[in-house]
Amino acid sequence: QVTAKTAFLFILPQYNVSVPTADGELVQYHYGLKDLVTILFYIFIAIILHAVVQEYALDKINRRLHLSKVKHSKFNESGQLVAFHLTSMVWCLYVVVTEGYISNPRSLWENYPHVYLPFQVKFFYLCQLAYWLHALPELYFQKVRKEEIPRQLRCITLYLVHIAGAYLLNLTRLGLILLLLQYLAEFFFHMARLVYFTDENNEKLFNVWAVVFVVTRLFTLTLYILVIGFGLPRVENQALDPERGNFFSFLFNNILFRMSVLLLVCLFQASVMWRFIHFQLRRWREYWNEQSSRKRAAAGAKQQAKPLKRDSGYHENGVVKAENGTSPRTKKLKSP
């Protein structure tokens, strides 16, 4: 029985409480230091699943494709992220639909702070934190190139800050919707990379990703404006109360602070869109350069294929001879 209690500490979320409702009591959860033990257990689970996907799926595909070292590393990265983003996207969509966060957008800020979480919401956040923390040692296990490490560290840090911030500041509902939008765009991007590595002439999925990326950025910006600009300033409890989980809603009563936060959000989204536009322009420029080089090569091949006009017969010592060996010139007849 003691072993079972210890096992539950690693496997199941802790800090469950019974919250009275109109239909009776509902078991919900809040966070604490014991969550670190649960996250540690699921870090090891994530490492095992990472190895399974690599061994039984990605390595077999790589043997058939015979990719270079650079493409091999990028293929493994995108393959792992496609599996993770697809799983997380489906799971997150199921959570937000069953909890009613999409059908009732007001629930994103109503009754803030959202200290007590349903089981599936807390478990989702713990698994997300475990996955992105497991990505740190995987940089060593996967022997990632030194040039790629800063970029991947920046990506992992941004995800950890976003997920941990939403979890600790009791903004889990908003965080779920933002993660769903982000994972949707990332899934199409890494799926397009996988298709491109298998067939370099196939870039159709990059066009699909471009559309999805722009749409998700617009939804993300709209969601920030809706929640920060209109939702949180109308919360009933505006007093600073860290014990109840209310950390900063009182700040949103100050219009200067609210506008500053929105300005920072808009600048960040603008920088993301600028990098996206720069990437698209570079890709289109490379595409048109490749098309023009192909046209020049095809035109050169046509010119070489044209038959050269030659005189009848053949040349011998600078004299044109007929095929039967006689000279093609007409001979002068001698006068009798």
Alpha-carbon distance values, 45 to 49, 55, 66, 168, 181 (Å): 6, 15, 30, 23, 25
Q: Is residue 316 situated within a structural domain?
A: no
Residue 287 lies in a domain: yes
How many domains is the chain built from?
1
Q: Domain for residue 306, yes or no?
A: no
Letter for the amino acid at 116?
Y
Share above pLDDT 70 across residues of the chain, in percent, rounded to a whole number: 84
Q: Which residues contact 187 (CB under 8 A, 6 or more apart)?
A: 82, 85, 86, 89
**Which of 246, 261, 263, 282 is CA-nearest to residue 169?**
246
Give the pLDDT mean for 216-243.
79
Predicted confidence (pLDDT) per residue in 264-309, tens digit: 888 988 888 898 888 888 878 877 887 788 788 877 777 776 555 5
Residue 12: pLDDT band with limits 50, 70, 90: confident
DSSP E strand stretches across 172-250:
none
Region for residue 100 given its phi and psi (left: phi exceeds 0; alpha: psi -120 to 50; beta: otherwise)? left
* Domain-embedded: residue 305: no
Structure-block tokens of residue 333:
């007849």
Q: 326 pLDDT band (50/70/90 cuts)?
A: low
pLDDT band for position 240 (cuts 50, 70, 90)? low
What pLDDT, on the 0 to 100 scale, is given for residue 249? 61
**Domain that includes residue 216, residue range:** 1-294
Share of the chain above pLDDT 90, in %: 37
Core vs surface per residue 281-294: b (16+ CB within 10 A) or e: eeeeeeeeeeeeee
Confidence of residue 261 (pLDDT cuts 50, 70, 90): confident
Structural domain contains residue 321: no
Q: Is residue 313 part of a domain?
A: no
Q: 158-176: per-residue pLDDT in tens?
A: 999 999 999 988 889 999 9
Average pLDDT over residues 109-131: 91
pLDDT digits (tens, 9 = 90+) for 59-114: 888 888 888 888 888 899 999 999 999 999 999 999 999 999 988 888 888 888 78
Please report the pLDDT score of residue 333 as a whole number.
47
Residue the block writes with tokens 């010592």: 317
For residue 244, the model assigns a pLDDT of 66
Q: Please say if the pLDDT value at position 45 is more than 90.
A: yes
